[in-house]
Amino acid sequence: MDKSQIVTKIIGSPKNPVKEKGRAFAPTNIALCKYWGKRNEKINLPLNPSLSISMGDLGTKTVVSMSDKEDQVFLNGEYLDPSNSFTTRLQTYLDLYRPSPNTFFQVHTENNIPTAAGLASSASGFAALVLALNDLFGWNLEQRNLSILARIGSGSASRSIYEGFVTWHAGEREDGMDSYAEPLEVRWPEFRVGTLTLSTEQKKVGSRSGMRLTKETSSLYQGWPDKARFDFNLLQEAITHKDFSQLGRVSEGNALTMHATMIGAWPPLLYWLPESVAHMHKIWELRESGVPVYFTMDAGPNLKLLFLAETQSILEENFPKMKVVVPF
């Protein structure tokens, strides 16, 4: 099954809008158990399940309406040329929802996080786009189907449909209809995420290309899917029992293992900056001194600190530029 068949299965034949504009916000999410590698690249089916935490009010606002003559895409208020890679990726995705070949869209997207810098902007971007299209066309879809539609745009977008802790099931079916995200019914008001933005530059190797390179060339990748499945179960257990120590250890270890598979690729894929490593050492030193703090990293140089409310003040002293997210 290809993307267009999945869309037809979920929404039927494309219909005309029911309102002038569709609006939505979707949070970015940070994976605690990472998604790295696909069993089907065409419809973004992952090799392993993953688990994330949504990042509160950090994410993407999108407004979608119809356009008279051509697609128009605006990112953070700036019109993007049709040849821009961001525009072409959006247009290809929007092709799935056009009622006719002469139907055009105008998309206004605003990110309050850096775009393509390892802070999961594509996750919130495609989730917000799907939610805005749902609003524009009046599909009234259940969240499971919205998650599947977001997934075929960007895999991790499947998780940004929701808030809080979210699991993404890898699924087994070839059509991908059992690969969707859903929230964990656990609230953890004391849980905190601190973002350390060390670079806002667009990364040279995108996640999609990085996954493919790692899977095809890294000898360390063979053990990754089993490791991720094991971590996935441990993290669900830690969240259920609110065992912060277990959550932190597993999340940090999962991130470092994922990055190790990248470093083992050829040519080696290293997203870290010297500042990234310096901050890792600082976190380890704090932990040795008795401060319960851990980190995770996506495919980029920026770190996300994991901690509880009781240690927020000491971490703010040690990382003055850290921005604190309260997910619950």
> Above 80 in pLDDT, residue 206?
yes
Model pLDDT, residue 44: 97
Strands 72-75 and 104-111, sheet pairing? parallel
- In contact, 141 and 127? CB cutoff 8 Å: no
Model pLDDT, residue 114: 62
- Cα–Cα dist 192/56, whole Å: 11
Whole-structure pTM value: 0.94
Model pLDDT, residue 69: 86
Weakest mean pLDDT among 103-117, 250-264, 280-294, 296-310:
103-117
- In contact, 53 and 164? CB cutoff 8 Å: yes
Model pLDDT, residue 14: 85
- In contact, 33 and 251? CB cutoff 8 Å: yes
Weakest mean pLDDT among 113-122, 199-208, 222-231, 305-314:
113-122
Per-residue pLDDT band for 118 (boundaries 50, 70, 90) equals very low
Residue 308 is encoded by which pair of tokens? 């509880």
Weakest mean pLDDT among 81-90, 106-115, 137-146, 170-179:
106-115
Q: Residue 176 contacts by C-beta under 8 Å, 6 or more apart in sequence?
A: 1, 6, 40, 43, 44, 45, 148, 151, 152
Q: Using one digit for the tens of pLDDT, what is the confidence trace for 159-198?
A: 999 999 999 999 999 999 999 999 999 999 999 999 999 9
The closest of 120, 134, 211, 207 to 166, measured between CA atoms, is 120
Q: Residue 314 contacts by C-beta under 8 Å, 6 or more apart in sequence?
A: 286, 291
> Above 50 in pLDDT, residue 31?
yes
Model pLDDT, residue 214: 97
> Above 90 in pLDDT, residue 246?
yes
Per the prediction, the chain carries an average pLDDT of 95
Model pLDDT, residue 117: 44
Q: Which CA distances in Å does 39 have to 129, 174, 215?
A: 25, 9, 10
Alpha helices in the chain (DSSP H): 3-11, 85-94, 121-137, 143-151, 207-217, 224-241, 244-263, 274-288, 312-318
Percent above pLDDT 90 for the chain = 88
Model pLDDT, residue 199: 87
Model pLDDT, residue 115: 56
- In contact, 108 and 74? CB cutoff 8 Å: yes
> Above 60 in pLDDT, residue 116?
no
Burial of 111 (0-12, 13-18, 19+ CB in 10 A): buried
Residues listed for the chain = 328
> Above 90 in pLDDT, residue 98?
yes
Q: Using one digit for the tens of pLDDT, what is the confidence trace for 287-298?
A: 999 999 999 999
- Find tokens 């299209």 and name the residue: 133
> Above 50 in pLDDT, residue 42?
yes
Between 68 and 318, name the one with better pLDDT: 318
- Cα–Cα dist 50/69, whole Å: 41
Neighbours of 281 (CB within 10 A): 9
> Above 80 in pLDDT, residue 314?
yes
